[in-house]
Amino acid sequence: MLKPVSFKAHHGGAREEGLVDFSASLNPYPPEWLDDMFNRAKELSGRYLYWEKLEEELSELVGEPLTVTAGITEALYLIGIFAMREKRKVVIPRHTYEEYERVARIFGTEVIKGSNDPERLAELVEKGSLVFFCNPNNPDGKFYSPKELKPLLDAVEDKGALLILDEAFIDFVKGTKSPEGENLVKLRTFTKSYGLPGIRVGYVIGFQEAFKSVRMPWSIGSLGYAFLEFLIEDGFEHLKKTMPLIWGEKERMEKVLNVKSDANFFIKNVGDARGTVERLKERGILVRDCTSFGLPQYVRFSVRKREENERLIEAFRELGEGF
């Protein structure tokens, strides 16, 4: 009667204790108000929560109308509800976040894989199709400027298609700009930039009425509600303090490890990803095997605090990976 979906997505993040986790690409500096936020969440837990006012305040802070969601993941499934039920063709780059394809498979749509280059991907856009693009991309951290994205934006406009732009890591890109367009949905999350993957809060820019019409009630819960309260009061000061620290370490790691990225994570060719992951685990370090991205020779690792990054660098030296 009920058949399981055959496609399974793989995700980073440690499943076991005791490892320095480079597999999840998160801000390693927690907000100073974290304990107060948890206390506030406890106070809120005894009632149903409605966040319309907080949504308006966050919209003012961001500077654009938005829809609050339980992270980007909820937004992806909302897109499935109101867009994929029309059986649109779904266009996805070949090496990117797997959840796009999983959602498409769940809703029974035809998936077309193409180049990670936006100009070449634009060639696959058809009338009414749905295009997913991660910017900066996961797993390689490549960021495309609005000018570089223009061929894809133009194709979407010309064909009456819809571009879903996943900007989960955009806060980590130095001096960045986000494109504009009528046939464009932008997905953002605080999971990465605040280093709190367990607090499911993000937002969508574009098509507010559509997203709010299918959004699940109370999806963010008391912890997410409290997070929004403190985030709005903080006014993104935490990001202003911590991003320069991450950028400094990122530049240092680029030089030492001979890697390059626009985000807070890198991929590195180690020849055998699975074997390297296991050897690093023996040294108390977890990196991401990129086999599920179609890159079996690569591992992905994030920028953490200096002393932790030194452990990773030394481990690579011991393994002879890239030195």
Residue pLDDT, tens place only, 37-60: 999 999 999 999 988 999 999 999
On the 0-12 / 13-18 / 19+ scale of CB atoms within 10 A, 276 is buried
Angle between helix 34-44 and 221-234 (nearest 10):
130
Rounded-to-10 torsion of CA 236, 240, 241, 243? 110
Which CB contacts under 8 angstroms, 24+ apart, belong to 233-240? Answer: 234/31, 234/33, 235/61, 236/61, 238/29, 238/31, 238/32, 238/194, 239/171, 239/193, 239/194
Residue pLDDT, tens place only, 267-321: 999 999 999 999 999 999 999 999 999 999 999 999 999 999 999 999 999 998 6
The pLDDT, as a whole number, for residue 119 is: 96
**Over 70: is that where the pLDDT of 224 sits?**
yes
**Over 60: is that where the pLDDT of 157 sits?**
yes
CB atoms within 10 A of CB 290: 23
The pLDDT, as a whole number, for residue 10 is: 62
End-to-end Cα spacing for the chain: 55
Q: Which two tokens stand for residue 238?
A: 């935490």
pTM over the 0.85 mark: yes
> CA–CA separation, 63 vs 186, rounded Å?
14
pLDDT confidence tier of residue 7, bands split at 50, 70 and 90: low
Residue pLDDT, tens place only, 107-126: 889 999 999 999 999 999 99
